[in-house]
Homo-oligomer: A and B are copies of this chain.
């Protein structure tokens, strides 16, 4: 089990290692074993009519696939890639936007075993992105593949 200090280091890496992600100002609110809460600030991410830009909402959801993965598995042995993502925009995003996700213990065990056995494993995250009032602004379905470095 990783320490909170290790989880915080993973979170820092997550929002700084890709320049285009860092530019959005996205923040890790909480991170643990296979679980994470992320926040996209409205400031710096508005469109021409002062709602959150569609691409920043996408970036918020997309990053979760890495966040829960690196919080659950050993980055020296495994890495994730994105296969497909769908995003439905439900209402204008007028505040900072958050999303949270937890892989269950059973899902962590399944992904780990398949990556060990077959070198790769599909995992799917369904997320609801919410504004400061708790209203859903977007719904996403992301398909990722976890891979073993030995593949």
Q: Point out residues on A near B: beta carbons under 8 Å.
A: 17-21, 23-24, 44-48, 53-56, 58-59, 62, 81-89
A21–B45 alpha-carbon span in the complex (Å): 9
- Say how many copies of this protein the assembly contains: 2
Candidates B21, B44, B84, B86; contact of A55 at CB < 8 Å: B21
A12–B59 alpha-carbon span in the complex (Å): 24
Label chain A's interface by main secondary structure. Answer: mixed
A48–B22 alpha-carbon span in the complex (Å): 12
Candidates B17, B24, B47, B81; contact of A18 at CB < 8 Å: B47
- Contact B82–A48 (Cβ < 8 Å): no
- Contact B55–A20 (Cβ < 8 Å): yes
Neighbouring B residues of A47 by C-beta, 8 Å = 17-18
